[in-house]
Structure 1
Amino acid sequence: MHHDHSPAGIWAQGDYELGEGARWVDGRLVFVDILTGRLFEAPGSAPSSGPARELLRLDVPLGAVAPVQGRPGHWIAAAGTGIALLDPDGRTEWLARPEDHTRVHTRMNDGVCDPHGRFWAGSMAYDATPGAGSLYRTDPDGSVHRVLDGLTIVNGPAFTADGSTMYVADSAAGVIHRCTLDRAGDVLEKAEFALLTNGGSPDGMTVDTDGRLWTAIWGRGTVHRYEPDGTLTATVRLPVPQPTSVCLLPTGGSLLVTTARHGLTGDHGLSGAVLSVPTDAAAPPAAAYTMH
């Protein structure tokens, strides 16, 4: 296993409380600041020292978005207590709000589309009540299905290129699960893929073009790269303690990492900025939601 000490640069300046959901969409980086409900874009060229541009703002937390196929500027989002379609002005059309009637106060968290155009998103309790988190799948017809429950803080998921394998993190438990899916998107088998024992929490993740899983490790200031068999083969060290999500460019060259200053006091350095680390790895752009 090698430790990568190449210096982290700044891709997008900012003081984001809970930056998350880094995705490569239409040649640029988009990401969210969850608790303020904001979606941002950052230039797709070389890192700019400037701030990112706000695309829209909701009055509920915004966990993550995915583009909608054939509808530029429209998004499907994990937001508030459910799944919504967003137009370029931030108007919401709710598909479902499954977290409205939970036993504890919960919100949607991370989300991403699989290669088949379905949107997957997880939830968590605000106070991280164990077992209060679920994973949902939104099908092209707009129906929302609970696929997994009994998790605590659901992050990811990430998918292999053929969509048959899904990785999903339960951050609070320090576990990454590997799930085999059938064609309908139901879980055939769930197994423990990786377990963090040093106190770090696996957060946002992506699968590169070689099938390796990259995941931000909240609390440890690192990004881990795992082989498909679960072997940890690289650890990227970052100058901040709370990386939240990772994005690899389709052309390679940069690993982009959102970070959070949530809970940090005093001078928190680069925490809250979007960082860039040189890498030779690449990943496809974010998959889009296919509406029927």
Structure 2
Amino acid sequence: MVLGTDRLELGEGIRWTDDHAVLTDILSGRLLAAPDDPTAPHTPIARLPCPLGAVAPVEGRPGHWIAAAGTGVCRVDPAGRAEWIARPEDDAPVPMRMNDGVADPQGRFWAGSMAHDATGDAGSLYRLDRDGRVTRVLRDITVPNGPAFTADGTLMYLADSARGVIRRYRVDPASGDLGTPEPFVTLASGSPDGMTTDTEGGLWTAVWGLGQVHRYHPDGALDRIIDLPAAQPAGLCLGGTDGRTLLVTSAHIGLPAPGPFDGAVFAVRVDVPGTPASPYRPTVPSAPAPTDRADTP
């Protein structure tokens, strides 16, 4: 089923929260709510004057979001106003923007950056801790997508879409420190894009360029392929009242002749449920300067 009449330029960052799905159209800076009615348009929530990759709800503050946007991370209030927490990519040697991002089960927010022109190895992964500290934890990524976390927050999956690879990292639940990366899946064609996990520990990923969504078992074995009538699936999540609706965004950017469903949002019923998006859970912020902990190539 197709949700809504809109066709997005670069639909991404879809999350199930507060009994509905929110998503971004990255380059237009728009945060949208997806409708239940296939004949209705998406509902605008906010529009930033910069690219908007993904958001997480803020615990206990309805209508407030933490966003991977522009060259960093900001808070977005119910009026759509942005308050910047950090802009670590302002002084990068090439023009940069934030891409995908998500909160982990412990309440931290993680977001990746990439060059506007996808310059190789220009991207990084940042972590916003609950106290407001922003730390670069990985560098030398070209197009980071995800991350996605297991339900207990002890494993993180991160795609480098340009390389066709998904890596898995052990995560210290208390500190957020990452272990040594392990290769999880390498695609022979297409690019792994947005990701999410389900309650059995399976990993779902949108496959840009193939018009598919893949589900992998925790050991990396391919379990299922879902074909979509859109060439560039980009973001996904599991939602709905029972967590068994797979919601997938797509994009028409770069296609010389987009089809009728390129840029659409799709809903597909699946067997294994997921859980709603984790919120960012702030403590009293101390507003420290950003630090750099990226010691993994």
TM-score (normalised: structure 1): 0.94
Aligned ranges 1:57-96 → 2 under 5 Å:
57-96=47-86
RMSD: 1.0
2:252–2:258 Cα contact (<8 Å) kept:
no
Cα distance in structure 2, aligned partners of 1:181 and 1:239: 36
The residue identity in structure 2 corresponding to 1:272 is G
User: Match of 1:35, SS?
Assistant: helix
- Mind listing any 5+ residue stretches in structure 2 that lack a counterpart? 284-297
- The question of 1:238 aligning with 2:232 is answered no
Take 1:242 and 1:35, find their aligned partners in 2: how far apart are those partners? 16
* CA–CA separation in structure 2 for the residues paired with 1:253 and 1:132: 36
CA offsets 1:154-210 (integer angstroms, 9 cap, x no match):
000000011010000000000001000112011122111100112x10000000011
Which residue of the other structure, out of 282, 286, 289, is the alignment partner of 2:273? 282
CA contact 1:252–1:280 (8 Å) conserved in 2: no
Contact 1:168 1:178 in 2 (8 A): yes
Aligned pair partner of 2:168 in 175, 178, 194: 178
Q: Is the 8 A contact 2:243 2:276 kept in 1?
A: no
Question: Which secondary structure state, in structure 2, belongs to the residue aligned with residue 94 of structure 1?
Answer: strand
Q: Secondary structure at the match of 1:255?
A: strand
> CA separation in 2, counterparts of 1:42 and 1:242?
18
SS of residue paired to 1:172 = helix
User: What pairs with 1:108-127 in structure 2 (closer than 5 Å)?
Assistant: 108-127=98-117
Superposed structure 1 runs of 4+ greater than 3 Å apart: none
Residue type of the partner of 2:118? A
Q: Helix, strand or coil: the match of 2:179?
A: strand
The TM-score, its normalising length taken from structure 2, stands at 0.93
How do 1:246-265 and structure 2 match up within 5 A? 246-249=236-239, 251-265=242-256
Aligned residue identity for 1:59: P
| Cα distance, 1:12 vs structure 2 | 2.3
Residue equivalent to 1:3: none
Q: Tell me if 1:20 matches 2:4.
A: no
The runs of 5 or more residues in structure 1 that have no matched partner are 1-8
Would you say 1:163 and 2:153 are equivalent positions? Answer: yes
Equivalent-residue separation in structure 2 for 1:266 and 1:235 (angstroms): 25
Equivalent of 2:204 in 206, 209, 214: 214
Which of the pair is proportionally richer in strand? 1
1:211 CA drift (Å): 0.6
